[in-house]
Amino acid sequence: MHSNDTLDPPDWPAFRAQAHAMLDDMLDYTQHIRTRPVWQPLPATLPSLFQQSLPQHGQPLNELHRRFMDDILPYAIGNAHPGFMGWVQGGGTPLGMIAEMLAAGLNANVGGREQAPIAVERQILHWMRELFDFPATAQGLFVTGTSIANFIAVVIARTRFLGQQVRERGLTDQKLTAYASAGAHGCVAKAMDMAGFGTAALRKIPVNARFQIDLAKLSEQIRSDRDAGYQPFLIVGSAGTVDVGAIDDLGALADLVEAQQCWFHIDGAYGALGMLSPAIAPRLKGIERAASIAFDFHKWGQVPYDAGYILVRDGSDQLASFAAPAHYLQRETRGMSAGSPWPCDLGPDLSRGFRALKTWFTIAGFGAEKLGQIIHHTCELATCLEAGIVQEPRLELLAPVNLNIVCFRYTGYGNLKNMTVKQANALNNEIVIRLQESGLVAPSSTMLGEQFAIRAAIVNHRSTRVDIDNLLLQVLQTGDALFAHHH
Ligand SMILES: Cc1ncc(COP(=O)(O)O)c(C=O)c1O
């Protein structure tokens, strides 16, 4: 090894040419994504390509690039594709992609210290305070996703309820309980688990006909828990449930939380950014009363993965839960160690990437109005899909369409009535798998009670009416073919 050896390119002009080719490939990919399959099964040989032993010597960049183009890019899950309607995943944008490249080039560690990337992250906080009508004392933090944002909220609620000594002594014999609707995302229970309460300490409250938390049953559960010596400390509202996109009655929930003196957290993983749309914002009324909100820019916000966020009304609660002074993280009023508090004082991470940059580019580049229109458009497409289902005798709508998620099933011309629930579920499951394998359009699925539902979550800004019509057509054709085969 020579003393001037580094990991930088030995031949910068050659590297530059290769880098430009790589950028062009990704721009081509995005521009022409509609011509590709949404997803395709992985070739049987693919896993073995990535089970090789540790390479002792480097391979040329053009060779690695070729491998990416041949062996990785075609076999991604396809959430950038307009025909992708599985789960709740954003589509990303070319703008976000190049911003991510700038962030990677800068290689900023945004855990703390006096640096512009933190000012950018604070700009996002400023915008989120404005969007959710939170006070100037609010704090916030980029995290991987809502799963971790919910976890952070549970920890803050715990510290607020038990006082800071819990950070030193841990949980002892307190019987703390939390509450969320039965439709709440599984990561809320996981957060209770990770925070040491256990998943059983999360009471799952039944939902009403609109899939919202049943407030009477919530009050009843809280009363019986208090009678049994439990201490309710946290109530989690849902702003857009993962299965059906239900929004709890957040205003009424806020009243109840206030009366119970609990922490009011809202899981708004994708729904919270509905605030960007004047058509959707009124339905989120009450969100401005939350103590904390967890949400993702990588879903409806179309920021490339990952970009989750936790917003906390009273920033001092967040600091009190996570700040942990250390002499190697000494703060100053001048020099590189100025600018306290730092992001590392607001969550579990010390080293963290510059997620704020792609978010800043996205919001500044498109503007709130355009992003709100995109969000609203996905809801309009869901309404189109709902109408198509209701008009079609071979299809049955399985849940009210609240936002952008549509749950339905194929029934044939009432023929499914001659099938057992198990057979009907199996048939619909097969439809979903065949559609995914076709690469034409890709819904996912869920269970609503006993019934298997084909679930279309329209999140991607690239999806259009064509994709909705295609989904309807493909479900019907596949269902008819399977049904004919069944008989
Ligand atoms: C309502 C809800 N909460 C939480 C999550 C988890 O978010 P993430 O995947 O960003 O961790 C999701 C994901 O779809 C969600 O829909």
Contacts of 22 (CB under 8 A, 6+ apart): 65
Q: Is the CB–ligand 1 distance for residue 187 below 6 Å?
A: yes
**Residue 3: what pLDDT?**
59
* Dist CA 284 CA 253 (whole Å): 12
Q: What's the whole-number mean pLDDT along residues 163-186?
A: 96
3-class state of residue 454 by DSSP: strand
CB count, 10 Å around CB of 282?
Answer: 10
* Dist CA 291 CA 330 (whole Å): 30
Please choose from 77, 84, 142, 147 the residue to mutate so as to test ligand 1's pocket, defined by most ligand atoms within 8 A of CB.
147
Using omega within 30 degrees of 0 as the cis cutoff, is the peptide bond preceding 296 cis?
A: no
* Dist CA 328 CA 281 (whole Å): 44
3-class state of residue 208 by DSSP: coil
Nearest CA to ligand 1 atom 14: 88
**Residue 276: what pLDDT?**
98
Q: Is the CB–ligand 1 distance for residue 145 below 6 Å?
A: yes
Q: Where are the alpha helices (DSSP H) in 44-185?
A: 46-49, 61-67, 94-106, 116-132, 146-162, 165-169
Contacts of 432 (CB under 8 A, 6+ apart): 443, 444, 445, 454
Q: How confident is the model at residue 416 (pLDDT cuts 50, 70, 90)?
A: confident
CB count, 10 Å around CB of 55?
Answer: 7
Please choose from 89, 143, 266, 296 the residue to mutate so as to test ligand 1's pocket, defined by most ligand atoms within 8 A of CB.
296
Residue 487 in this model has a pLDDT that exceeds 70: no
Nearest CA to ligand 1 atom 12: 269
* Dist CA 374 CA 376 (whole Å): 5
* Dist CA 154 CA 433 (whole Å): 36
CB count, 10 Å around CB of 349?
Answer: 18
Nearest CA to ligand 1 atom 7: 146
Q: Which atom of ligand 1 is nearest to the CA of 271?
A: 1
* Dist CA 116 CA 81 (whole Å): 34
Q: What is the residue type of 110?
A: V
> What is Dmax (Cα atoms) for the chain?
79
**Residue 325: what pLDDT?**
87
373-411 pLDDT, tens digit each: 999 999 999 999 999 999 999 999 999 999 999 999 999
- Centre of ligand 1 to C-alpha 414, Å, is 35
Residue 414 in this model has a pLDDT that exceeds 90: no
- Centre of ligand 1 to C-alpha 261, Å, is 26
**Residue 2: what pLDDT?**
65
